Amino acid sequence: MAWRNSSVEYGSVAKLFHWRLFVLIVSLLAVGIFMANQTFTPEIFTLYKWHKTIGVVALVLVVGRLIWRFMSPPPPLPTETPALEKWAAHGTHFLIYAAIVIIPVSGWLMSSAAPFPNLIIGDIQLPALIEQNEEASKFWSTVHYWAGRALIALLALHVSAALFHHFVRKDQILRRMLPGRLKGTP
């Protein structure tokens, strides 16, 4: 399999970024929802540190993914795809990328503005992006919350569209992002 994207499928680097980010992001969303409904205990504090640590890793991977996307553009949608569907696909991808940047950045800003150390695993303190300020912390907390909810909806739409293409349209849209090679491709 080629490293770079081709005109018919994603390359191994794009697939690696895609599936690693998918696992990290779904895990972060699930843990974030769980944490928000818990009483603050030492165990939950440790979970927050893990959440922040993995969030930083996800942010680094997202930046890497975006750089790679510019270096190796994705394969075009099939020519028979209606214009409205192309617009919806590109718009959804843009919003997913926006959310997966906004969520960790807003989390970092929220934690920076909060009146306690912004620690990750190993008790490493992340640098503060802004000064401590309760109102700013609440604002960024709200952004973090709603961007997370928006991402859940966008991911549901993205997965639904991929499954629609696979099971209803019976085209290559989903298969070109799955690990391995497309049948009949060089």
DSSP string, 50-79: HHHHHHHHHHHHHHHHHHHHHHSPPPPPPT
Question: Does residue 23 belong to any structural domain of this protein?
Answer: yes
How many domains is the chain built from? 1
d(CA 130, CA 157): 34
DSSP string, 8-55: SS--HHHHHHHHHHHHHHHHHHHHHHHHHTS---HHHHHHHHHHHHHH
Question: Does residue 2 belong to any structural domain of this protein?
Answer: no
Question: What percent of the chain stands above pLDDT 70?
Answer: 97
Model confidence over 105-150: pLDDT tens digits?
999 999 999 998 899 998 899 999 999 999 999 999 999 999 999 9
Q: What is the pTM of this model?
A: 0.92
Q: Which domain holds residue 40?
A: 12-177
Question: Does residue 6 belong to any structural domain of this protein?
Answer: no
Question: Does residue 34 belong to any structural domain of this protein?
Answer: yes
Model confidence over 166-183: pLDDT tens digits?
999 999 899 999 987 665
* pLDDT for 183: 54
- Find the CATH number of the domain harbouring 112: 1.20.950.20
Question: Does residue 5 belong to any structural domain of this protein?
Answer: no
**Residue 175 CA from chain centroid, whole number:** 20
